[in-house]
Amino acid sequence: MKILVNDLHKAFESRVRLGIMSALAVNEKLDFSALKEYLDVTDGNLATHLKALEKDDFISMEKSFVGRKPNTKYFMTQAGKTAFDEHLKVLEKLVISHKQS
């Protein structure tokens, strides 16, 4: 049991970060404003969490211009996908083992 709990990735302890990863897991790319709307957080808060995930190499971004406005799109990296899948698996296992005990 103990080992399992430790397997939960620290990066996903934050609800905002877990939300970002869930949204990016099923969407190819999402821009900042879309993420902000889905998560219902402030600009600063979202930016901090995005930076943290970027530092972990779980997400990456690409900058472009829509007209003259800069637009940043975020997407999940392969490492992010692997880590998120692992996290999900551990969560499921934890729930199942709790049910059995």
Partner 1 sequence: MNNEQDYIRDISDIRSMMERTTRFLSLSGWAGIMAGIYALAGAFTAYKFLGFNPDSVAYDTFVVKGYIFKVVLLALLVLVLSVGTAIYFSKRRAAKRNEKLWNPTSRRLLVNMSMPLIAGGFFMIILLSKGLTGMVMPVALLFYGLALFIAGKYTYQDIRTLGIIQILLGLLSSYFIQYSLIIWSLGFGLAHIIYGIFIHAKYEK
**What does the binding site for partner 1 look like in residue numbers (CB under 8 A)?**
5, 8, 13, 15, 18-19, 22-23, 25-27, 30, 34, 37-38, 40, 88, 91-92, 94-95, 98-99
Residue 25 Cβ vs partner 1, minimum distance, rounded to whole Å:
7
* Nearer Cβ to partner 1 (26/66): 26
* Nearer Cβ to partner 1 (18/52): 18
Residue 38 Cβ vs partner 1, minimum distance, rounded to whole Å:
5
C-alpha to C-alpha distance for 46 and 65, rounded to whole angstroms: 21
* Nearer Cβ to partner 1 (52/94): 94
List, as own/partner pairs, every contact residues 93-100 make where C-beta atoms lie below 8 angstroms and the sequence separation is at least 24, other chains included. 93/4, 94/4, 94/5, 94/8, 97/1, 97/4
DSSP H/E element including 65: strand 59-66
Q: Which of 17, 19, 1 is nearest to 93 (CA)?
A: 1
